Amino acid sequence: MTDAQPINISILDKDYKVACPPGEQSALLESAKFLDSKMREVRDTGHIMGSERIAVITALNMANDLLRTSNVDKELGQELPPRLKDLENKISRVLEDAKQLEI
C-alpha cells in the first residue's frame, strides 16, 4: 500500500490530479511547471497544433536534451537502456503516424 497523496497540477491550462508520494510534492510541482513552460514554448511557435502533438514534440525535445547531457551516448559505444529505447520507438511511431495523417 502506498501513502501517495493526490496533488493538483496544471499544464497548458488543463488541470490534472496526480498521486504523489510524501515529500515529493515540491519536486512534482516544479516538474509540472517546467513541463508547462516547455509545452508553451512549443505551442507558441505556431507550427504545432493540438495538445497531444505539443506533448509528443515536447517529450521528444526533452528526451533529446537529456540524452545530450547524460552519460548515455552512442558515440561511446553504449546502447540506450531498454526503457529509453522503448520510449524512442513509441515516439517514432507516433510521429510517423502523425506524418501520414498530414499527407
Cell 502533438 belongs to 53
The pLDDT value given to residue 36:
95
Can you give the CATH number for the domain in which 67 is found?
3.30.160.880
Rounded distance between C-alpha atoms, residue 84 and residue 39, angstroms: 21
Cell 510541482 belongs to 29
Rounded distance between C-alpha atoms, residue 74 and residue 103, angstroms: 33
Ordered per-residue pLDDT tens for the chain, 103 residues: 468 899 999 999 999 999 999 989 999 999 999 999 999 999 999 888 888 999 999 999 998 888 887 655 555 445 667 777 778 778 877 777 766 665 5
The pLDDT value given to residue 1:
46
The pLDDT value given to residue 8:
95
Rounded distance between C-alpha atoms, residue 12 and residue 75, angstroms: 36
Domain of residue 69: give its range: 5-102
**Structural domain count, the chain:** 1
